[in-house]
Chain A
């Protein structure tokens, strides 16, 4: 073997030998792959088995489904039909409709029955109310009668001496028989005389007790003891017919609880001395009985309604309480609720009315409503709720006078506030007349468009300010009337600063006066004021400080040439104006 072949052989042996690392690695790799393939094959086999099983199940289901479908279809329709049948059997709609109609009819009939019942109750109540009204009428008449009688007796007692009180019954009846009504007929019928005498005795007893400290019983006892009375002294009340057996008086029309009506119903009685008495029970205080000395009567004068309503007892029933509510003394026309009604009746929301205004009574409230209606009728508007006193206090005449005052001085009244100010100011006339006196017709002309409020407020400050301010007050009103509204784009603080600066230069006017000018509504732009000032000073280096300031005001504001001229005519010396105009 050639040497090379030997080498090759050796190399080949090495390559294929057991010790070749590459072969070893290769074999190991092949073994790993083989194992992996085996595992994969096992998994695939398992998956195939599972798939086959699932396929079998699927095929089984597929086989069952048509059958299930065939089975279920009739079943569902059948159940549905059964369900419908069940509904129809459970809810018979026609029957339900009938039942509902029946129920409705029952309810209707029940309601009608109840309405009928209510109507009958209302009828009963109306009857009761009528009865009650009749009782009340009777009671009121009875009360008037008794009080009129008492009044007469008081007059009689006042003119009689104490020893004249021991009238016999006969004398008393004779005395009462003399009373005549307006037609000259006997006031008390014969069968009424005992009652009248009884009442006289009550009244006598009361008054006697008040004046002498003695009761009528005492007087009677004294009379009996001294045998002074040849006839029978006044009988005790038990001898008289009980009051409840007396027929009540009949009246032809209902009595309203109003003062004037009650007054009309009171008969005019005449005493023997020809004294005519007109008694108004509305103004009468309740009569109180003497306390322990008085015998216990079945009825009492302490509350006149006791006599008429229950006759024999002082206990009050609810009906009594209602009637007492109608008693004249209970009428309080100044209750807030009544005011609220007044406001509502006139289209005013009471909630807007202040507590101060609400404290006024009916009369003032009516005046307020009348006043604002009047002010609206003449074209004046404003927030009336800002004036919770004046419009309640002043009359329409006051307002008319205020308007006349403004008219006299040529002042335009712009709103309700102006009128309120005129009416509430003590010195409105003084303020206007002072202005006219001081400034003459020109002032009147100039102030035509000024608010009275403004003028009065200005003059109200006269006493507290110096002469400069006095000047200002008059002049500013004039200027304000001419300058009109505040020009747009101006700033009042800037104007104040500008004006203060000017005044500092002038060294004549106080800051107070400058401020007063500014707040008057004459506003300036700072730069414009300064420019104008320079112009004025250039035009008239000798102008007085006041001229300069007033010229600045006129020149710097948005005045028209006519207005400037007018300002100049009234305020500025002609020379200054002419120079300015030039």
Chain B
């Protein structure tokens, strides 16, 4: 999961992620690096500053197909969504 270092994660955060999540999640996060990167980049480009927080809390969502992942967020007004996600990262569950 060292590829997460390119997305502003540090070693401690990666270790923490592994410690929190069950191995079957960690394995898939490791296996589907390209997909994770695409979805992470999408959020970052969307302007979601706390994309790291969202990933840490809802990593499994990042294993969705990239187009489906984008559709989850594209339905909403960008600025409004970014603001709301900034205030409440768990909002992604309700999207």
Chain A contact-residue range equals 20 to 34
A388-B64, A424-B22, A492-B83 as given contacts; A453 in contact with B28, CB under 8 Å: no
- Flag if A426 contacts B22 (CB, 8 Å): yes
The CA of A140 and the CA of B53, in the complex, are separated in Å by 60
The CA of A426 and the CA of B25, in the complex, are separated in Å by 10
Proximity string of chain A (476-507) to chain B, C-beta cutoff 8 Å, 1 when within and 0 when not: 00000000000000001100100000000000
- Flag if B90 contacts A355 (CB, 8 Å): no
The CA of A423 and the CA of B84, in the complex, are separated in Å by 27
The CA of A417 and the CA of B72, in the complex, are separated in Å by 15
List the A residue with the shortest CB-CB distance to B84: A492
List the B residue with the shortest CB-CB distance to A495: B87
The A-B contact count (CB < 8 A) is 83
Residues of A within 8 A of B37 (CB): none
- Flag if B88 contacts A389 (CB, 8 Å): no
List the B residue with the shortest CB-CB distance to A414: B93
Residues of A within 8 A of B32 (CB): 356
A16 interface residue per 8 A CB criterion: no
Q: Which of A385, A387, A493 contacts B68 (CB 8 A)?
A: A385
- Flag if B87 contacts A518 (CB, 8 Å): yes
List the A residue with the shortest CB-CB distance to B72: A386
Residues of A within 8 A of B60 (CB): 386-390, 420, 424
The CA of A70 and the CA of B32, in the complex, are separated in Å by 97
- Flag if B28 contacts A492 (CB, 8 Å): no
Q: Which of A352, A389, A417 contacts B24 (CB 8 A)?
A: A389
Chain B contact-residue range equals 20 to 34
B11 interface residue per 8 A CB criterion: no
- Flag if A385 contacts B90 (CB, 8 Å): no
The CA of A235 and the CA of B57, in the complex, are separated in Å by 76
Residues of B within 8 A of A457 (CB): 57, 90
The CA of A132 and the CA of B61, in the complex, are separated in Å by 51
B16 interface residue per 8 A CB criterion: yes
Q: How far is the CB of B62 from chain A (nearest CB, A)?
A: 10
B20 interface residue per 8 A CB criterion: yes
A426-B22, A457-B90 as given contacts; A385 in contact with B84, CB under 8 Å: no
A457-B57, A460-B20 as given contacts; A389 in contact with B25, CB under 8 Å: yes
The CA of A34 and the CA of B24, in the complex, are separated in Å by 124
Residues of B within 8 A of A388 (CB): 60, 63-64
A463 interface residue per 8 A CB criterion: yes
6 further contact pairs, Cβ within 8 A, besides A356-B32, A426-B19: A356-B65, A386-B72, A389-B60, A426-B20, A493-B87, A519-B86
Would you give 6 A-B contacts (Cβ < 8 Å), ordered by A? A354-B64, A356-B65, A389-B28, A424-B22, A454-B90, A519-B86
